[in-house]
Structure 1
């Protein structure tokens, strides 16, 4: 069921506008997964949203996907790659993520990726999952910016969005995430500081499809191995 966005949208709009102001005065970015918000002021952000999807503890704002290039819209596609069903494959160059299915198809989603020099590639697994997750800076970020808040609660203004998949190698969190975003205009772009971002409605869909332990391949130049 799709509802209108009265209070939630007003709140989101105020948040986005305040972030534009912060960008103007050159406040340091809050998260390793957050983008440079330069493009936000180039568009009317209200035009991106068409309603909301009930969720807890916040409703998920729904994006007008007609504003996206068709190749970045969620869709089922044919798939003949070598990966086993249940594998997540992210193609950094194509700005697409696929979840391989058992019937020769895949669920395909558009993503935003890290700007030049920040895009990680490799093999990992989903070590844990989060719903409207809190954000915390890395040790390196704190050393560079001691005044950063040590945590930021989940919500519409959180750069991790509605869901997050935390990637691990072995038992080690590699600090690389697949997560939602409150900047839908960044899908298909190379703007973030490394993480893979999706529309909030898309990461919620993927979240429900994959368990902890899911294999994840992040490819660049057609390869996930060096």
Structure 2
């Protein structure tokens, strides 16, 4: 059964604010932080040219090899094809392909991502989704009012915090407000970040969206991450 962690501490708004945009300082820090030289990126992280909005290539030297998308031995052999298992502390999402094989993706986890655990249903997925800001968040950030539900939300495309794709999780027929979505930057993968649910590179979330199975189970493992700990690697 789904539980909410730190509900009182979050004032009941953590899930509603789950897919908030990153702070400008967070974007700048992640985009400019230098990394050691890395092996050449695989072609899967090149520019994507058949999307309605630009998906540029991942810059060389910004994505660690341990964060590359790859097929791995299935660590969850009792799960059905299409099921998803998310380990927020490890910053890893597994998609179950077969009893033997899973696809492993690196993710970053926002504050709301650590406030949930349990199993939900993948109710639907959207390509280039609109971001509809809940009223509770607008009460705290009035500047987001133009993107409210009543105003139709934020247009898809660059600058939308949901990125290229979003997967929406429901429990007992109700929206959990928990999302797996795009718009991560390479340097934040495997880390706790200030906002968002489960963020993926746009390249990876497009790949996951193409494979997703409607109605599949999505399990978020319990987090034992100490509060305030940033890096997960």
TM-score in terms of structure 2 length: 0.72
Structure number with the bigger relative contact order (C-alpha 8 A, sep ≥ 6) is 2
**Runs of 5+ unmatched residues, structure 2:** 1-16, 36-40, 225-233
Query: Which residue, 94, 98, 119 being the options, matches 1:98?
Result: 94
Number of the residue aligned with 1:77:
72
Q: How many residues align?
A: 192
C-alpha distance in 1 between matches for 2:157 and 2:63: 24
Instruction: Write the deviation string for residues 124-176 of structure 1: whole angstroms up to 9, x where unpaired.
Output: 11111111111011232123334422221000111100000011112211111
Query: Which residue, 18, 33, 51 being the options, matches 1:32?
Result: 18
* SS of residue matched to 1:52: coil
C-alpha distance in 2 between matches for 1:43 and 1:160: 17
Number of the residue aligned with 1:128:
124
TM-score in terms of structure 1 length: 0.74
C-alpha distance in 2 between matches for 1:100 and 1:182: 22
Shift in alpha-carbon separation, 1:142–1:207, aligned structure 2, 3 A: same
C-alpha distance in 1 between matches for 2:177 and 2:30: 31
C-alpha distance in 1 between matches for 2:22 and 2:47: 23
* SS of residue matched to 1:193: coil
Instruction: Write the deviation string for residues 173-206 of structure 1: whole angstroms up to 9, x where unpaired.
Output: 1111000015333221100434101000100000
* SS of residue matched to 2:25: helix
Query: Which residue, 209, 212, 218 being the options, matches 2:211?
Result: 209
- Compare the two structures and name the one with the higher strand fraction: 1
C-alpha distance in 1 between matches for 2:62 and 2:80: 32
Number of the residue aligned with 1:183:
185
Number of the residue aligned with 2:174:
172
Further displaced range: 110-119 or 73-82: 110-119
Shift in alpha-carbon separation, 1:211–1:35, aligned structure 2, 3 A: same
Number of the residue aligned with 1:67:
62
Query: How much is the aligned-residue C-alpha RMSD, in angstroms?
Result: 2.8
Please tell me whether the aligned partners of residues 121 and 218 of structure 2 are also in contact (alpha carbons under 8 angstroms).
Answer: yes
- Compare the two structures and name the one with the higher helix fraction: 1
* SS of residue matched to 1:63: coil
Shift in alpha-carbon separation, 1:161–1:79, aligned structure 2, 3 A: same
C-alpha distance in 2 between matches for 1:180 and 1:74: 14
